[in-house]
A and B are shown apart, each in its own frame.
Chain A
């Protein structure tokens, strides 16, 4: 693929990728890093893209996997730093410890959203993805099913479980604060 054609893809999808990554990591600098990684992967694998799914869906999948891997590696780095195994420099912008720096959060909702986002961070990866795609990205269940390679019913059941777990986590946090 020529660089000019690829630049068109970057310009068309960078907002989608950046916002989705931001919804996972909550820190603009990290979302920027993930966006760059995603497009490098897309460039590498574009020849392998079979066109069975839409390009948008395929890029969504890559973004979700890259974001989850990023969070996993950050958790692992934090673990290594905590136990003194790591010789790396301490994490500067740690999305796992600091509050959300999401620029799309309205000031009046910030406090409430911090709590909800922290609770979402404790959910299993698939439940977290369902909430991000359905509620923040506001995609339809059918689209989410396609992106996650699941049936619509499975998405619905994942969503119900995520909702239940989220309420439980929020209630536990509230009780602990009292």
Chain B
């Protein structure tokens, strides 16, 4: 801090600003900051696991849907073949 007489400082607001002294931060501040940093790292890991879980669920869901569609199309094909096997009736009368 610069040594200025209080009289000068009172007249000049800018000189008054220079009388503000630097203070030491609270002793526990660095510890709190490091705790928050570590907490943030844990949160980030938690979020990552959540995202991985969501992505895995989506992937499994897509595989299941694919399986369902394949099953459906096979069933439809079978049904079509069965229909073709049944003899078709005609409305023509026999010529006796």
Binding site for B on A (CB under 8 A): 3, 6-7, 10-11, 14-15, 18-19, 22-23, 28, 32, 35-36, 39-40, 43-44, 102-106, 108-109, 112-113, 115-116, 119, 131, 135-136, 138, 163, 166-167, 170
Contact = CB atoms under 8 A, between A and B. Distances in A.
B22 interface: yes
Interface residues of B, dominant DSSP: helix
23 contacts: A6-B37, A7-B30, A7-B34, A18-B29, A32-B32, A36-B32, A40-B33, A40-B37, A43-B37, A43-B40, A104-B20, A104-B22, A106-B19, A109-B6, A113-B19, A116-B13, A116-B16, A119-B13, A131-B17, A135-B18, A136-B20, A138-B18, A166-B14
Interface residues of B, number: 25
Contacts of A105: 19-21
Contact of A102 (B9, B20, B30, B38): B20
B4 to A, nearest CB: 10
A156 B87 CA distance: 100
B78 to A, nearest CB: 59
B67 interface: no
Contacts of B26: 28, 32
A35 B37 contact: no
Given A14-B30, A28-B26, A106-B19, 7 more contacts: A15-B24, A19-B23, A19-B25, A36-B33, A36-B36, A104-B22, A163-B14
B83 interface: no
